Amino acid sequence: MRLRVLFLLTLIPFYAVCAPLPIPEQGPALRIQGSNTIGAALGPALVKGLMEHQGLQGVYSEPAHGTNEQRVVGKTRQGKTVTIEVAAHGSSTGFAALKKSTADLAASSRLIKDSELVDLEALGDLKSPEAEQVIAIDGLAIILNPLNPLDTLNTEQLAQIFNGEVSTWEQLGGVGGTIHLYARDDQSGTYDTFKELVLRLRGKPLTASAKRFESSEALSDAVSHDPQGIGFIGLPYVRQAKAVAIVDGDSQPMLPLNSLIATEDYPLSRRLFFYLPPSSRDPWAKALVDFTQSSKGQAIVAANGFIAQQVQAIGVEPRASMPEDYQAIARDAQRLTVNFRFEEGSASLDNKARLDLQRVVAYLRSHDKLDKQVTLVGFGDAKNDPQRAALLSKLRAMAVRRELVKSGVVLRDIRGFGAQMPVAANTADEGRIKNRRVEVWVY
């Protein structure tokens, strides 16, 4: 783990952007395919930002060959035209396009599947830190018509609703008669995420009666105009609809608030990705990935309604449901908007956490908090022995400490709270992974 992290820090300068970039003699400089969530607005905005950063002039976007496809165009000072194409037909189409060599970069609103990983192994390891790039955090909002009085649903109810087992609002304690279901189409990463986080974990397929949409905006608008409607959507597309608070297992009800999504505590939070094949020789693809991770790129992420990965400190109101020692930390310190998480079945930090180390160190250095101003708080999933759960949670915090120490951070304290304060149900691997986390608190 240690050697791998050092390798990443050495080879991927966090704010580096390759410049100047070569201009192709013909054809697009870069082809991006995949997620509608990314490709509808965020992807083109990041492309435009990179082009302007490269000094291109008069940058604009225009419709391309088909629906949900666009072309971003700019000119060099010498008058040469540069074009980047963005097609947004769903995350799975991005990986398919990489295989067919019709895309240079895949945009995905979900993790790459094992089957896709195997299918694309000729392109290199798409799970390597250089290939798998978290570009933003999003939250799936569960949306209702603004007039619907319900304000909280749990994930079990959501599975029953979208499976058709619960078919009227009265069964949920509401009013309005038959529930009308709205869902993204099968190519959508948004649908894949909902299926993974809600439906598959409970063995419930989506009912055939759900109305399906390729467009996020169209789905949201349909729900906001239907008093009996319910749908799921990426956070920037709530629009005129009403988002409800979500409970998962023993978690607290959580609205899709920026702070809860940034830390990925919100039960339906998700990561958005660029996948750059290690075999890629396209300098524009690598430059876009690096630009997206820079402060300028993350500002564009925030401007498009997603959650940027820039680290901030936030106050947390102590609650009676919190352990007393945790309340004491909350009274005296502020929490950083990042959680360190780990690879599945491993004590190694995941790809996002490796870059988050750099973000946290940069924050601590700029705020003069490198010396005994930081407490790490570890959590885990439930074990038969609470003392073992507490020990494991502290060991996770110590794993983060080892990496921070390399950058000159001297910790104030390390705490382990075991399986307390879960943010997800412990009944499946996905929930247990979310509960195995390390928070960062600064004084």
Q: What is the mean pLDDT of residues 64-75?
A: 94
The pLDDT assigned to 280 comes to 96
Residue with tokens 């299918």: 119
What type of residue is 294? S
Arithmetic mean of pLDDT over the chain? 92
The pLDDT tens digits of the residues spanning 147-173 come to 999 999 999 999 999 999 999 999 999
CATH number for position 53: 3.40.190.10
Residue 270 lies in a domain: no
The pLDDT assigned to 372 comes to 97
The pLDDT assigned to 386 comes to 86
Q: Residue 258: phi, psi to the nearest 5?
A: -55, -45
Does 1 score more than 50 pLDDT? no
What type of residue is 184? R
In this structure, the answer to whether residues 185 and 79 fall within a common structural domain is no
Q: What is the mean pLDDT of residues 34-40?
A: 93
The pLDDT assigned to 11 comes to 35
CA 297 to the chain's CA centroid: 15
Look up the domain containing 284 and give its range.
12-131+276-303
- What tokens appear for 241 in the block? 């609809």
In this structure, the answer to whether residues 111 and 217 fall within a common structural domain is no
Residue 395 lies in a domain: yes
Residue 25 lies in a domain: yes
Distance CA 232, CA 216 (A): 9
CA 184 to the chain's CA centroid: 18
In this structure, the answer to whether residues 67 and 169 fall within a common structural domain is no
Instruction: Tally helices (H) and strands (E) across the chain.
Output: 15, 18
The pLDDT assigned to 332 comes to 97
The pLDDT assigned to 19 comes to 58
Distance CA 399, CA 407 (A): 14
- Residue of 253, 254, 214, 260 whose CA lies nearest to 237: 214
The DSSP line for 59-79 is EEEEE-SSTTEEEEEEE-TT-
Confidence of residue 433 (pLDDT cuts 50, 70, 90): confident
pLDDT-above-90 percentage for the chain: 82
Residue 181 lies in a domain: yes
Distance CA 294, CA 188 (A): 27
- First vs last C-alpha separation in the chain: 29
The pLDDT assigned to 382 comes to 82
Instruction: Determine how β-strand 105-108 pairs with β-strand 30-34.
Output: parallel
Residue 144 lies in a domain: yes
Residue 6 lies in a domain: no
The pLDDT assigned to 68 comes to 92
Q: What is the mean pLDDT of residues 165-186?
A: 95
The pLDDT assigned to 53 comes to 96
In this structure, the answer to whether residues 366 and 295 fall within a common structural domain is no
Distance CA 360, CA 262 (A): 14
Cβ-contact 138, 273 below 8 angstroms: no
Q: How many structural domains compose the chain?
A: 3
In this structure, the answer to whether residues 103 and 78 fall within a common structural domain is yes
The pLDDT assigned to 197 comes to 85
- Residue of 443, 136, 169 whose CA lies nearest to 308: 136
In this structure, the answer to whether residues 318 and 433 fall within a common structural domain is yes
Distance CA 420, CA 387 (A): 12
Does 99 score more than 50 pLDDT? yes
The pLDDT tens digits of the residues spanning 196-238 come to 889 987 889 999 999 999 999 999 999 999 999 999 999 899 9
In this structure, the answer to whether residues 438 and 315 fall within a common structural domain is yes
In this structure, the answer to whether residues 288 and 319 fall within a common structural domain is no
Residue 2 lies in a domain: no
The pLDDT tens digits of the residues spanning 293-321 come to 999 999 999 999 899 999 999 999 999 99
pLDDT-above-70 percentage for the chain: 95
Which secondary-structure segment (H or E) carries 135? strand 132-144
Task: Give the dihedral of Cα atoms 233, 234, 238, 241; nearest 10 deg.
Answer: 20
- Residue of 253, 246, 438, 411 whose CA lies nearest to 340: 438
In this structure, the answer to whether residues 324 and 366 fall within a common structural domain is yes
The pLDDT assigned to 5 comes to 35
Q: What is the mean pLDDT of residues 347-373?
A: 95
3-class secondary structure per residue, 96-124: HHHHHCCCCEEEECCCCCHHHHHHCHHHC
In this structure, the answer to whether residues 93 and 169 fall within a common structural domain is no
Cβ-contact 139, 307 below 8 angstroms: yes
In this structure, the answer to whether residues 227 and 318 fall within a common structural domain is no
Cβ-contact 394, 388 below 8 angstroms: no
In this structure, the answer to whether residues 120 and 146 fall within a common structural domain is no
Q: What is the mean pLDDT of residues 350-376?
A: 96
Distance CA 322, CA 412 (A): 21
**In 120-212, alpha helices (H):** 155-163, 189-194
Which secondary-structure segment (H or E) carries 231? strand 229-234
CATH number for position 399: 3.30.1330.60
Q: How many residues would you count in the chain?
A: 443
Confidence of residue 6 (pLDDT cuts 50, 70, 90): very low
The pLDDT tens digits of the residues spanning 370-410 come to 999 999 999 998 887 888 889 999 999 999 999 999 999 99
Residue 268 lies in a domain: no
